[in-house]
Amino acid sequence: MTTRRNLLRGASAVLGAAALGPLRSQGLQADSDTAAKRFIFIGSASGCVPNRFWPMGDRTFNYSTAPLERHSENVSFLRGVSMTNGGDHKPYVMVTGQREPGGASIDQLIAERMRSSLGYDQPSLVLCGKSKNQNLRGWFSFGRDGERVLPQSSPLDAFSTVFGRGPMADGGAAATPARGGRAALNRAILGTVTSDIESLTTRVAGSSADRLAEHGDAVARLAASFEDGESAPGPVEGAGCGTGEEGFTTASSGYLDDCRRHMDLIALSFACDRRRVANFMMTPLGHDNMGRGNYRGMGYEGALPGLSSGDQVSMDGPGDLHQVVAHAWHSNSSYAETFARMHRAEAAVIAYLIDRLKAIPDASGEGTVFDHTVLYWTNEHADPNHGVNAGRSDFPTMVAAGRCTGVRVGSYVDLDGGNEVHGAILLALAQQVGAPLDRFGTFRSPWREILV
């Protein structure tokens, strides 16, 4: 049994301009169509500022989540999700459904379940906005034996992982491999390069040989991307495959720009059917040891000692401002405001992802990629103060889903008190993306209230 639900219909549950009913049905249910479904888990850090995050009583999106307002018909905020053992740096509880380390995360389980039906390997796309210490704090993806799955922080490297080659300057044209004579010629050129590489392999040893082999492997993968067709089971490219690929350049204007490239990559991966599951860890929100980087637009500007006003914010020297922002916002309105702005920047990244997914036609011919996608956004904490100040109740939780997923969205659901229901929610969402699980951590029954 889940909880006493309080659907704030009429009185306060309507988000933005879109009039909503109780968890809104969107039409097609997942089990009524066979189109590929996708799942995205997004994990943030350090909790939120509640009165700036949750929808307000006047039925509008709050400040921190306002960027998502344009997708109001597709999102639900679930308040009252609690974690009796999830307060102090135990994000694995949120994503494994277990109280202790050792279990697989939901993205890995769904990817594994999908793999068995696909007949070929399509792992979870595990990304992070910025690398941090590889400890359990802030970690959101775990393999079957509980081992940590290393996220990729470089959009370019992640692109290579997904597509087996670097991004192409001509975007869509390259993503749809060159056919016929052009493809053959490209392969011939790269074959000549390979011959040149091979002519050197016997002449070097040690690290030069290793690097040369690495070069050869990269060229071989690039050549393979120019194959004329697919014969074995594999990705089915949609119409939007390659769209925006040219945007993957080595230039970066900072953390948020990298985040958007990651969102582009998730969208491209889905459009090209290279991935159906993604896990994105938004690590900078108040985490320590973030190191040097440009966090322009994250909300730090002008609000903290040691930072000048203005647009440019690079954290050279001091690691980051986790300690002063995340742990002290209760006592300082300036920090609270900064914290809220940082959440708003993250919400904007998610809204951007939904924009991208909505702009790509689905390969099934039924609507857009987003119509077949479920997105779950949660946090390592309810409150950043490590279990103090009700830090284990009201974990920031949002579900976004397209109309073909059979997930009810468009509402603000207040569970009216702490309810350890996150695992049941994820069980339900897994079912809706075509990856039903017998159990998830300690949870065995899906939370059916989220379903149509």
Partner 1 sequence: MDPMSRCSMILRVTLIALAALTGCTGAIGNVDESTELPDPPPDLRADRPFQCQPDEEEYGEARLWRLGKRQWEVTVERLLGLTDVQSRLPEDPVGDVFRGEEEILRVRDVEAGFLFRDAQRFASSAISEGSVLADYPCLGDADATCIGTFVRSFGRRAFRRPLTTEEHGRYVELFALGERAMGEGPETVLTAMIQSPHLVYIAELGEPSGDGTTPLTSYELASALSYFFTDAPPDETLWESASSGALNADLSAQVARLMATDEWRGKRTRFVEELLHLDALSHVEKSDGAFPEFGELRDSFQSELDYLIDRGFQRGEADLDLLFQTRDAMPEDDALAAFYGSEGEQLPPHRRGLLTRAGFLSVHAGREITSPVTRGHLIRTNILCDAIGSPPPGANTTVPDPEPDQSQRDTIDRATLGGSCAGCHVRMNDVGFAFGAFDPIGQDRDVDDFGVDLDLSGSVNGTEDADGGFVDLNELLARLANSQQVARCMTTQAFRFASGRTPTAQQQCVLESMQIAGGARMNFEDAIRAYFLSPRFLERKVTP
CB atoms within 10 A of CB 249: 11
- Taking alpha carbons only, the member of 228, 118, 248, 111 closest to residue 170 is 248
Taking the complex as a whole, the smallest distance from the CB of residue 400 to partner 1 amounts, in Å, to 31
Contact window for partner 1 (CB under 8 A) among 52-60, 256-264, 318-326, 336-344: 318-326
Q: Which residues pair with 440 in a beta bridge?
A: 443
Taking the complex as a whole, the smallest distance from the CB of residue 245 to partner 1 amounts, in Å, to 10
Q: Which two tokens stand for residue 38?
A: 């996708």
Per-residue interface string for the shown chain with partner 1, residues 277-306, x marking contact by CB under 8 A: -----------xx-x------------xxx
Q: How many of the chain's residues bind partner 1 (CB under 8 A)?
A: 68
SS3 193: helix
Please give the single-letter amino acid code of residue 42.
Answer: I
Please give the single-letter amino acid code of residue 292.
Answer: R
In the list 196, 227, 228, 230, the residue contacting partner 1 (rule: CB under 8 A) is 196
In the bound state with partner 1, the residue whose beta carbon lies nearer, of 4 and 292, is 292
CB 21 within 8 A of CB 352: no
Per-residue interface string for the shown chain with partner 1, residues 71-110, x marking contact by CB under 8 A: ----------------------------------------
- Taking alpha carbons only, the member of 246, 242, 249 closest to residue 268 is 242
- Which run of H or E residues covers position 412? strand 412-419
CB 43 within 8 A of CB 87: no
Taking the complex as a whole, the smallest distance from the CB of residue 219 to partner 1 amounts, in Å, to 5
In the list 202, 229, 231, 438, the residue contacting partner 1 (rule: CB under 8 A) is 202
Per-residue interface string for the shown chain with partner 1, residues 118-137, x marking contact by CB under 8 A: ---------------xxx--
CB 289 within 8 A of CB 381: no
Taking the complex as a whole, the smallest distance from the CB of residue 102 to partner 1 amounts, in Å, to 18
Distance CA 211, CA 101 (A): 37
- Taking alpha carbons only, the member of 313, 321, 311, 322 closest to residue 293 is 313
Q: Which of residues 29-68 bind partner 1 (CB under 8 A)?
A: none
Is 311 a binding residue for partner 1 by CB under 8 A? The answer is: no
Distance CA 245, CA 266 (A): 12
Distance CA 74, CA 405 (A): 11
Per-residue interface string for the shown chain with partner 1, residues 222-261, x marking contact by CB under 8 A: x--------------------------xx-----------
Q: Which residues pair with 419 in a beta bridge?
A: 81
In the bound state with partner 1, the residue whose beta carbon lies nearer, of 16 and 284, is 284
In the bound state with partner 1, the residue whose beta carbon lies nearer, of 31 and 196, is 196
Taking the complex as a whole, the smallest distance from the CB of residue 275 to partner 1 amounts, in Å, to 16
In the bound state with partner 1, the residue whose beta carbon lies nearer, of 17 and 189, is 189
In the list 11, 189, 236, 388, the residue contacting partner 1 (rule: CB under 8 A) is 189
Taking the complex as a whole, the smallest distance from the CB of residue 330 to partner 1 amounts, in Å, to 15
In the bound state with partner 1, the residue whose beta carbon lies nearer, of 322 and 408, is 322
In the list 116, 120, 121, 206, the residue contacting partner 1 (rule: CB under 8 A) is 206
Sign of CA dihedral 218, 223, 226, 231: negative
CB 35 within 8 A of CB 372: yes
In the list 19, 118, 173, 218, the residue contacting partner 1 (rule: CB under 8 A) is 218
CB 110 within 8 A of CB 430: yes
Give CA angle at 220 (218, 223), nearest 5°.
Answer: 110
Tokens 């009252």 sit on residue: 80
Q: Which residues bind partner 1 (CB under 8 A)?
A: 133-135, 156-157, 159-160, 164-170, 174, 181-182, 184-186, 188-190, 192-193, 195-197, 199-200, 202-208, 211-212, 214-215, 218-219, 221-222, 249-250, 288-289, 291, 304-310, 312, 314, 316-324
